[in-house]
A and B are shown apart, each in its own frame.
Chain A
Amino acid sequence: MPFDFGPLWLSVQLSAITVGILMFVGTPVAWWLARTRSRLRVVVEAVVALPLVLPPTVLGFYLLLMLGPDGPLGGLLVSVTGRSLTFSFEGLVFASAIYSLPFVVQPVQGAFEAVGRGPLEAAFALRARALDAFFTVAVPMARRGFITGGVLGFAHTLGEFGVVLMVGGNIPGETRVISIAVFEHVETLNYPAAHALSAVLLCFCFVVLVTVYAVNRRFPVHAGG
């Protein structure tokens, strides 16, 4: 039987797109959380951390309701695009972004906090505008947080199961990601196929993590400066 790369490839695509979106969406959230003195901060932090503690089925259930054709967001999308987000790749991306949000936001927030106000004040006194200082000082000095957040977000999305099952189902080429495929192979007692997929995923994750830790070692972060 030829090895079916489909589910693995789909998982990698899903993870990459999710991390990309979370870098855009999560970075401002992390920045705000790292700098604000607002009382809303604890609320936002709790919301961001919810996916850490909620069972994926619960999260998936609510996402299903929200994204379905009768849900508030799904209904809107159906009326605009003519299709709903449930049982689609786009729906999976949305769900994954929610599900993996804390894994990106928390490391980035921690890195921004470690950088602190000091280097930014120095940049302001050196005539940098706010965005300039953010991109030329805060982000590069917090790069380790971005690397960690990116890897954790990627790995976490790669390994998701419950949310996918609830929101995406098992449509080959659309929502049949690697964890679903492994589950199905086991269910149908096709152990060789399950073995092959699992081993590939295991090796892949291991190589990614080793690479990341090696890179992180080469660019150590020096707090303060």
Chain B
Amino acid sequence: MPAAEQGGAPRLEADLVLDRKDFRLEASLDVRLSGVTAIFGPSGCGKTTFLRAIAGLEREPRGRIVFDATVWQDDRTFVAARDRRAGLVFQDARLFSHLTVRGNILYGHRRTPKGERMFRPETVVRLMDLDSLLGRRVSSLSGGERQRVSFARAVLANPRLLLMDEPLASLDQDRKEDILPFIERLAGELRIPTLYVSHEIDEVVRLASDLVLMSEGRIVASGPIEEVSNRFDLRSYAGRLDAGSIIRMRVAGHDPETGITRFAFAGGEVIGPRVDMAKGAEVNLRVRSRDVAIALDPPGRTSILNVLPGKVVEIAPNDGPQAHVLLDVGAPLWARIMRRSVDALELVPGRPIYALVKAVAVDRRSLGRPTAMDLSLAERGGGERGR
């Protein structure tokens, strides 16, 4: 019985090989999909080809794809795209220009047998905020509106798996901020497992609970985002991930008077700027390695709010004056300190320490435009979002 029907996370296995003149895809993936799983890698690393093969749009790659105990492709089988129930969102929306918005979003719905319809058009229209656009021709829509229509269209074909190929890539930064909450609604409220291809780390950190790293046609690593993003051996692949550590936490509570939110994780609690999320919600926190200091004793009176006990795991080899030190504080945490300090504190693997975390950044979660709080948050977090 497929896992999804038992309420568990469906499993996707894909082993694909494709040879082209100047490109070789040799990707092997075995993941359980729940929430958003990001496929992250530089442009041209094969992530789009990989995604299209899973959708059934590429016949070239040889190999095997099994989703939720159903074989989609192997030596003898090739299930056509239309029979995979894999919804696809393209970078360029690909709306049908001869139909209205309503005609577009109902295209897949009308082709879905009644028994397989999980979502009602009215619900999805409301979720994607399309009420006022239904009668419009798609040629009159803005880029962001087009993508919202394409989300609704894909979802109303009632996919068991949603594949998104850089859906924000053709939008400018402000539009991206507008659209991100809609993607979060899809994954959060409709509970469709989503594979999200991107080369933008900001989007990945904001949306994903799991991360698949791709490089030059291969899958380098996959797993929970904090695990993959914190592996030092993957830093060269992760590229801009090296801004710091990602720790998945749960909102433990808010303190409206001081404007803070408490976040809980395996190592205790940290305090960060207030975010607009319900208690219990999960969120990826980013801690930049340069914002982490190390002390051997618990500091006395200090302005630093987050002091986490833990121990040194390893000190990355580094020929510069600075050293990257991997700490275990209940979650992996990287600190970037001077090599001189490593010597002075006699840091070695296993040594108990206290991690002093100066700033915690939460990627913007509020709906719509950034709020004043988000902006101050970006400032306090050191402007990680690169705005």
Residues of A participating in the B interface, judged by any CB pair closer than 8 Å? 118-119, 121-129, 132, 136-137, 140-141, 143, 220-225
How many of B's residues come within 8 Å of A, CB to CB?
A: 28
> Are A124 and B57 closer than 8 Å at their CB atoms?
yes
CB of B356 to closest CB in A, whole Å = 50
Inter-chain contact B139/A122, CB cutoff 8 Å: no
Contact B138 A225 (CB under 8 A): yes
Q: Give 9 CB contacts A-B under 8 Å.
A: A119-B96, A119-B97, A121-B57, A123-B96, A123-B107, A125-B86, A127-B157, A141-B96, A225-B94
Q: Which residues of A contact B33 (CB under 8 A)?
A: none
Residues of A within 8 A of B81 (CB): 121, 124-125
- For residue A156, give the distance in angstroms from its CB to the closest CB of chain B: 27
Please measure, in the bound complex, the distance between the C-alpha atom of A136 and the C-alpha atom of B104, giving whole angstroms.
11
Query: In the complex, what residues of A have CB within 8 A of residue B90's CB?
Result: 118, 121-122
Q: Is B178 close to A, CB under 8 A?
A: no
B329 at the interface (CB under 8 A from A): no
CB distance from B186 to the nearest CB of A (A): 15
Given the complex of chains A and B, what is the CA–CA distance between A128 and B99 in angstroms? Answer: 15
B92 cross-chain contacts in A, Cβ below 8 A: 118, 224
Complex: chain B residue closest to A224, CB-CB: B92
Total residue contacts A-B, CB cutoff 8 A: 76
Task: Given the known inter-chain contacts A118-B90, A222-B139, A225-B138, please indicate yes or no for A125 contacting B96, CB distance below 8 A.
Answer: no
Does B98 lie within 8 Å of A118, measured CB to CB? Answer: no
Q: Contacts of A127 on B, CB cut-off 8 Å?
A: 82-83, 85, 108, 111-112, 157
Q: How far is the CA of A96 from the CA of B301 in the complex (A)?
A: 96
- Is residue B95 contacting chain A, with contact meaning CB distance below 8 A? yes
What residues on B are CB-neighbors of A221 within 8 Å? Answer: 97
Considering the complex, give the chain A residue whose CB is closest to the CB of B159: A125
Q: Which residues of A contact B80 (CB under 8 A)?
A: 124
Measured between alpha carbons, how far is A125 from B139 in the docked complex, in Å? 21
**By CB atoms of chain B within 10 A, which of A119, A124, A126, A129 has the most?**
A126
Q: Top 5 A-B pairs ranked by shortest CB distance?
A: A126-B108, A225-B97, A125-B88, A127-B111, A140-B98
Asked if B154 CB lies within 8 Å of chain A CBs, one says: yes
- Within 8 Å CB of A128, what residues of B? 82, 107, 111
Closest chain-B Cβ to A54's Cβ sits at a distance in Å of: 37
Q: What are the residues of chain A within 8 A of B225 when measuring CB–CB? A: none
| Given known A-B contacts A140-B98, A222-B139, A225-B93, A125 and B111 have beta carbons under 8 A apart | no
Which of chain B's residues has its CB closest to A124's CB?
A: B81
Q: Which residues of B contact A222 (CB under 8 A)?
A: 97, 138-139
Given contacts A121-B94, A127-B83, 20 further A-B contacts (CB under 8 A): A118-B92, A119-B94, A119-B97, A121-B88, A122-B90, A122-B95, A124-B56, A124-B57, A125-B57, A125-B88, A127-B85, A127-B112, A127-B157, A129-B82, A137-B96, A140-B96, A222-B138, A222-B139, A224-B92, A225-B97
Kindly state whether residue B153 has any CB partner on chain A within 8 Å.
yes
